[in-house]
Structure 1
Amino acid sequence: MTQNDQPDTTVRNPGWVRRFLVPSWPYLVMLLLALTGVALSSLARGLTIPYWEIVVPIFAVASFFARGDYRDRAERIRAIRQDALHWIAVFAAMRLLMLPQIFELLGADAAPLVLLTVLALGLFTSGNLIGSWRVGLLGVLLAAAVPATAWMERSTLLILLSVAGAVSLFLFIWPPHSWSGRAKS
């Protein structure tokens, strides 16, 4: 009730947090973890494998929650079984690739990219399985990150030289009198 003992008839705006963040949390968690994993695969090779071993179960839980509501208990049990089998298969494929004999064949540079590819395929097929275009899109984005990561590793020197050249060109073109903030008389 309001101050005049009248019922409160104003409609409250739930805000962007409730409209966007709350329903989208599984996708945002997966996106954040995927981006962190891509960065790790470029920067800290030794942490990549343990990171993905931790992330796969988190992706499995997030995919389950991204599935939505269930009509009954039997449908929920079937969904849990499907998701569990799917993500166990993805995890097993990743573990197989980490066996010493296979890891040596792949090499330290290619192994994290192969694991990223398997995870991208797992996300894409999970999106298809649960009927979520957002999870499938995350898989596509992760798959696109594989060649992008490989390119970034090979062209780090090119990128560094390009940035240094752009800064040098900017400093060469920019008038020296503007550096001090006042024009010379």
Structure 2
Amino acid sequence: MKKWQKSFLGLLCLIYIFVLSMTIWPQSITVTNDFIAKINDSNPINQHEFLNIAQISLLALTVLVLVIVVLIPAQKKGILLEKNKQGLLSLSNEGVISFIITRLSGYSMSNIKVNFKNTKKINRFDITADSLYKNHVIKQLPEIKHTLTSEIQELLSGVDDKKIKLNIKVNQKQSSSSHKKKSTRVV
């Protein structure tokens, strides 16, 4: 789970706790309302209106979360190869990633990182790599992309007819000698 998802769920839980505690113990609203009215020198808020607004906002937030959960596509842990009475045979996402790294290492690329999203309708690959020969690799990039796409389709032939989307980014690797130059000082 990502940090923003944890933060959002934590905030949602705090809101639920606050609204449910107000529903269970309505006298807490009265005490809080009187305390805020004394501090601000204002009229107290109507307890029933405040509770109704809190419950309606909680209901709207719950519906919003439900819609988000339903619309976000679920990622699959592997690609189903065969399913029969004896069991299930699948190719894991890590196996596909390893296949791609092996294929790309022959094109003078290093530090290859593959982000694979396997959903119901699409297999999406976001690949980043370093290369000492950036200009040469960039010229070959359309050919590399076409070859890799056909190899992935061949790997998954007859099994997975989903659309394959492939993005490759190549960064130039910095040489360590130019990066670590230090000036000397004679005293």
Name the one with the larger strand percent.
2
Q: Which structure's CA Rg is the greater one?
A: 2
TM-score normalised per structure 2:
0.26
TM-score normalised per structure 1:
0.26
Name the one with the larger helix percent.
1
Looking at both structures, which has the greater relative contact order when contacts are Cα pairs under 8 Å and sequence separation is at least 6? 1
